[in-house]
Structure 1
Amino acid sequence: MQELKEKKNQYIVSDTIVNEDNLSISDYNTNDNDNNEDKESEEIFLGRDFKKRHVSMIAIAGAIGTGLIIGSGTALERGGPASLFIGYIITGIILLTVLMSLGEMAAFSPMDKAFSGYPARYVDPALGFAAGWNYFFKYAIVLSANLSALGVIIQYWRKDLNVSIFISVFLVAIIFVNWFNVKFYGELEFWCASAKLIVLLICFITCLVITCGGSPTHETIGFQYWHESAFLEYLVKGSTGRFLGVWACIIQSCFSYVGSEAIGVVFGETPDPKTFIPKASKQVIFRICFFYIFGVFMIGLAVSPLNKKLSTSGSNAAASPFVIAFQAAEIKVLPDFINAALLIFVGSSANTDIYLGSRTLYGLAKDGYAPKIFTKLNRNGIPYYGCLFTAIWGALAYMNANESSAVIFGYFSSSVTVFGILNWLNIMISYICYYKATVAQNVAREEIPFRMWGQPYAAYIVTIFIMIITFFNGYNAFINGFKYKTFITTYIGIAAYLIMIFSWKIIFKTKRITASNAILYNVRTKNN
C-alpha cells in the first residue's frame, strides 16, 4: 500500500481522475508492450515545459495591461485620488483571495483543463460547461479588441494608414508565436513582462519626480490633489455621489485586475506544480501591492482628477494618465515612449488571448463540452485547432475599421468584460466546494502544499463581495434615467452565463457533486 501511495504522488500531474479509495496497481500499469499496442490510442497531454522564471515572471507581470496604464485615468476622473486608491485596495484584496484559492487547488490537484475543470469536478458539470465557455468567449472577443488597439496605437504616429493593415500583421504574428512549443511562448512573455516592469518603474519614478518638483516646470505638487479633490462626486451630488465615485473606482479596478487569474491556465503546463504553484501564487502579493496599488497612488499624486484630458477615450498614449502627467510637467520625450511601450502591453495581451483561448477549448473538449478536435496537439504539444479557432475571432477587429460597424464592435467589447468577474466567482465557488471535500474526506493537512490564511471564511466573504460587484456592475444604467444600451451590454454576459448553466443541466440532467463524492486526486498513467 505504501508503494501504491508513492506511485500516486508521483503521477499527480494531470487530470485523468480516479477516486483515491479505488486506486489499484493496475491504474499505474507501465508495461512497455501494452504501451506499444495502444500507441495509436494513447492520449496526448499538454507538456509541462514552462521554466521556473517563465512562471514567476508571468505571475508577477503577465496580466498587467492597459487597464492600469490607461483605464486608471477613467477611475481617477470619476472618483478622485482617494477613491481610486481605496477602490484598488478593496479589489486587490478580493483578487488576492481568488488567486490564493486557485493556487491551492492547482497545487493540490493540478489539471490542464483551464477553468472548466475545477467547477466540473467540485461543483456541477453544468457549471464546468458554463465556466469554460464563459472564459473562452471573454478572450476570443477581447482578442479582437486588443488587435484593434494595436492598430490605434500605431495610428498615434501614422494617422494616414488604415488600422486593418496592423490588425492583419499582428494577427499573423501571434498565431505564429502560439504554434511552437510553449517554451517559446513562455520566453516571449518573460521578456514582455520584464519590459512592462521597466516601463512601469520609469513611470512611477517620473511621477514621483514630478510630484516633488523635479520636472521642467519646477512645480511641487505634493498632496495638493488629495487636499483639493480626494473624493469626487459622480453622477449625483452629495455623499451619495461620493459613494458612487468610490464604487466607480472599484468597478474600474476590477477591469484592470481581470486577467490576473490567467496564471491558473499556465499552472496546467508548469513543471513540478506542488513546488512552483505555491511560490507563483504568493508572488501576486507583490504585483498587487506594488504595481497596482502603489501605481494608482502615484497617479493620484501626479495628475489632477479635474484634468479634462482624462476624459479622452482611446487606446493610445493620449488616454494614459501617465502621459497626461508628463505633458502637464512639460516632459516632451516620454509620451512617445509610453505609446511605444503600449505596443508591448497590448501585443502581449493579444498573444495571451490566443494561448488562453486554445487551452480553454482543449479543457472543454477533454470534458466533452466541445468537439474532440480541439484536443488534437501538433508535434510541439500545442492544441493547434484551438489556436486557429480562437484566432478566427480576431477578425471581429476589422469591424472597428469601419465607422458604421465600430459602434457594434464597442458593444461587443463592453458586453464581455463582466465575464472576467464571473470567472472569479467560478473559482471561489469551486474552492469552497473543494475545501468542503477535503474536510469531508479527511485529507491530511500535510498533503495540501499550501493554504491561504483565514480559509474558508475569507472565501465566503470574497464570494459575497464578487456577487455584489457582479450584480451592481451596471449601476450607472439606472441613474439619471434608464439607459437600455448600458443595461444590455452590462448584463447580457450574466444572462448568457445563466442560460448555459441551466440549459446544460436540464438537457443532460447533471447532478450536483457532494463533498463526500468529489474526486480530489488525479493521476496520469503511461497508458492513458
Structure 2
Amino acid sequence: MLPVDSSSHLKRGLKKRQVNMLAIAGAIGTGLIIGSGQGLARGGPASLLIAYSITGAIIYFVMTAMGEMSAFLPMDQGFSGYADRFVDPALGFATGWNYFFKYAIVLANNLTAAGLIIQYWRPDLNVAIWITVFAVVIIAINVLHVGSFGESEFVLSVIKIATLLMVMMTCLVIALGGGPSKERLGFRYWNKPGAFAEYLQPGPLGKFLGFWACMVQSCFAYTGTEVVGAAFGETPNPRRNIPRAVQQTLWRICVFYIVGVFLLGMVIPHDNDRLVGATKAKTSAAASPYVIAIQLAGISVLPDIINGCLLVFVISAANTDIYVGARTLYSLAKSHQAPAIFVRTTGNGVPIYGVAATSAFALLAYLNVAKSTSTVFGYFVSLVTVFGTLNWISILVSYIQFTKGVKAQGISISDMPYRGPLQPYGAYFALITTALIIFFNGYNAFMPSFRVSTFMTCYIGVFVYLVNIFAWKFFYKTKMVTAQNMDLITDRKRFEEVEEEETPSEPSRVRKLIQKMKMGKH
C-alpha cells in the first residue's frame, strides 16, 4: 500500500445547524414513509407502535454511546476507528468494510428509486436517464467542499421534515373526523380488524410472528440514524455540538418515528387491500401507507405532492450514501485497513478517491433497467441490509469496552464532556436486543416451508461480517485491547491543543484560568 500522507485531514467544515439537521432528519427515508406499511400489514397498529418504541430505545442508546465516545475522543475515523482502538483491529476492519458496502450498494438502490418516482409522472421515460442525472448531481455535491454537502442536506432535510409533519397532521385531522367524509375514526381500527395482526400462522403464534416482523421492519427503518456519527470528524467544537446532535436524535425518535406510526395505525386498517398490495409495489407514492390513508379519506390532491417529496427523500439518502462511504474508506485507510490512497484529501478536506470509489457503485443501478438483472440486484441489496444493524453491534461493543477502559484508568466521570443517560446499562440492553433481532431475523425462511433464498438473504451478511473479523485476526495476529492498555490520550490531548488555538478571541486571563482548572483535574 502507498504510504499514508499525514498532511491529509478532514476539515471541520460543517456548521452547527447542519450537524443538528443531519441528526434530526439525516436518516429519515423511505424505510419510514414507505416501509412502515409492510410492518402495519403484517403486525397491526399495536405491534408496529411497540416495535418502533423498542427499536427507538435501542437507537437512542446507540447514539448516546457514540456521542459519549466522540465527545471524549473526537477522532476523524468514525465507527471503525473506535472499534479498532477500544476492542480489536479485526473488529475495526469488519466494521469499516461492513459500513462501506452497505452504503455503496444502497446508493444504487436509492438512485433507482429516484428514477421510479419520476416514472409516476413520466412512465414513457427510461429509468436509466434519471439514474444518470441524479448520479451526476450528487457526485458533484460531494466533490465540492464538505460545506456543500452540509448545506444541501440542510435544505433537503427541511423539506423532509415539512413532508412528514404534513402527512402526520393530515392523519391526525382524518382520525379526528376532519376529512371529506367527516367520519371520526379514533381507535376504530384497533378494535376491528384489531390491534394485532396474524402473520404466517393463525392465533397467538401468528400475532407474535407479526410483532416480530414489525421489529425487523422497524430496525430497517431506523438503520442509518447513526449516520450523523460519520460527520463528527468534520464537526466544529465537537465537545459542545456532538451532545446537542445526540439530543436531537431523541426528539426525532419520539416525533417522527413513534408518533408517526401511531397516527398511521389510527387511519388505515391493517387488512386493507391497498395496503397489502402496496407492500409489494415499487417505490412511489402509491406504496406509501400515508398516501393510502389519505386516499381512503377521499383526499385526491396530496398524492402527487407527496410523490415529489419522496423524490427529495431518496436524493437526500443517495447524497448521504456517497458522503458516508467516502468517509468510511478514509477511516479504514488511516487504520491501514484499506489502500492508503483513500486517505488523501483535496485542499478542501474532501477524500476525493473515496468519493470516486463509492460513486462507482452507482453503476449497479443500471442492473435495474432490465427485468432479468433487476431480480439479481434485489437479492444483492437484501443481502447487505442487515449490515446496518450489525454496525449498531459494533458501536455498542466498542462503547462497553470504552467504559471499562475509562474505569480501569481511573478517569473521573466529571472529566467526561458528555455522559449518556442510563449508560452503560442502556448499551447492554440495546446490545442484547439487537443481537436477538439479528438472530431471529430469518424465521420466515422456515415458514410454511424452508426457503434457501430467504435464509441466505437474512444471514449471509452476518456470515461475511464474522469472516472479516476472523480473517483479519488470522492474517495479522491482532489481539484484543485490554482496559489498562487502551489509548485514551492521543486524540483527546491533540484536540485540547486545537481547541485552544481556535479560541483566540477569548481573553488570555480566562484562558489561563481554564487551563489551570484543567490541570487541577488531572
With the length of structure 2 as denominator, give the TM-score of the two structures.
Answer: 0.92
| Aligned match for 1:405, one of 373, 376, 392 | 373
Q: Which residue of 1 aligns with 2:343?
A: 375
| Aligned match for 1:162, one of 123, 126, 130 | 126
Q: Secondary structure at the match of 2:79?
A: coil
| Aligned match for 1:149, one of 110, 113, 128 | 113
Q: Secondary structure at the match of 2:78?
A: coil
- Are residues 1:490 and 2:454 paired? no
Deviation string for 1:253-305 (max 9, x for gaps)?
Answer: 00000000111111111001110101111111100001000000010011111
| Aligned match for 2:224, one of 238, 246, 259 | 259
Structure-1 separation of matches of 2:384 and 2:166: 32
| Aligned match for 1:275, one of 221, 240, 243 | 240
**Further displaced range: 306-315 or 354-363:** 306-315
Structure-2 separation of matches of 1:47 and 1:188: 17
| Aligned match for 1:249, one of 201, 214, 229 | 214
Structure-1 separation of matches of 2:134 and 2:6: 36
Offset, 1:326: 1.1
Structure 1 residue runs without a partner (length 5+): 1-39
Deviation string for 1:337-391 (max 9, x for gaps)?
Answer: 1100011100000000000000000000010000011011112210011001001
| Aligned match for 2:91, one of 123, 127, 132 | 127
Q: Secondary structure at the match of 1:116?
A: helix
Q: Secondary structure at the match of 1:80?
A: helix
Q: 1:479 to 1:42 in 2, by over 3 A?
A: closer
Q: Which residue of 1 aligns with 2:445?
A: 477
- Are residues 1:181 and 2:145 paired? yes
Offset, 1:474: 0.9
Q: Which residue of 2 aligns with 1:520?
A: 488
Root-mean-square deviation (CA), in Å? Answer: 1.3
Q: Which residue of 2 aligns with 1:436?
A: 404
Matched letter for residue 46 of structure 2: A
Work out whether residues 63 and 226 of structure 2, in 8 Å CA contact, stay in contact via their aligned partners in 1: yes
Q: Secondary structure at the match of 1:491?
A: helix
Offset, 1:114: 2.1
Work out whether residues 86 and 401 of structure 2, in 8 Å CA contact, stay in contact via their aligned partners in 1: yes
| Aligned match for 1:355, one of 288, 309, 323 | 323
| Aligned match for 2:165, one of 198, 201, 205 | 201
Structure-2 separation of matches of 1:487 and 1:227: 35
Q: Secondary structure at the match of 2:400?
A: helix
| Aligned match for 2:7, one of 15, 38, 43 | 43
Structure-1 separation of matches of 2:6 and 2:357: 24
Deviation string for 1:54-75 (max 9, x for gaps)?
Answer: 0111111111001111000000
Q: Which residue of 1 aligns with 2:67?
A: 103
Q: Secondary structure at the match of 2:349?
A: coil
Deviation string for 1:61-95 (max 9, x for gaps)?
Answer: 11100111100000000011111100100100111
Q: Which residue of 1 aligns with 2:502?
A: none
Deviation string for 1:454-478 (max 9, x for gaps)?
Answer: 2222211211111111111111111
Q: Would you say how many aligned residue pairs link Structure 1 and Structure 2?
A: 488
Matched letter for residue 267 of structure 1: F
Offset, 1:41: 6.1
Matched letter for residue 219 of structure 1: E
- Are residues 1:346 and 2:311 paired? no
With the length of structure 1 as denominator, give the TM-score of the two structures.
Answer: 0.91
Structure-2 separation of matches of 1:235 and 1:457: 35
Deviation string for 1:493-516 (max 9, x for gaps)?
Answer: 111111100000000000110101
Deviation string for 1:229-255 (max 9, x for gaps)?
Answer: 100111101111111111111110000
Q: After superposition, where does 1:55-66 map in structure 2 within 5 Å?
A: 55-66=19-30
Offset, 1:42: 4.8
**Further displaced range: 73-82 or 208-217:** 208-217
Q: Which residue of 1 aligns with 2:517?
A: none
Q: Secondary structure at the match of 2:105?
A: helix
Runs of 4+, deviation exceeding 3 Å: 523-527
Q: Which residue of 2 aligns with 1:86?
A: 50
Matched letter for residue 364 of structure 2: L
Q: Which residue of 2 aligns with 1:36?
A: none
Structure 2 residue runs without a partner (length 5+): 499-522
Q: Secondary structure at the match of 1:466?
A: helix
Matched letter for residue 429 of structure 1: V
Q: Secondary structure at the match of 2:124?
A: coil
Deviation string for 1:118-167 (max 9, x for gaps)?
Answer: 11000000000000000000000000000000000000111111100000
Structure-2 separation of matches of 1:162 and 1:343: 16
Structure-2 separation of matches of 1:419 and 1:510: 23
Matched letter for residue 69 of structure 2: M
Structure-2 separation of matches of 1:73 and 1:406: 23
**Further displaced range: 515-524 or 367-376:** 515-524
Deviation string for 1:32-51 (max 9, x for gaps)?
Answer: xxxxxxxx965221000111
Matched letter for residue 296 of structure 1: V
Q: Which residue of 2 aligns with 1:25?
A: none
Q: Which residue of 2 aligns with 1:5?
A: none
Structure-2 separation of matches of 1:369 and 1:121: 13
Structure-1 separation of matches of 2:35 and 2:322: 23
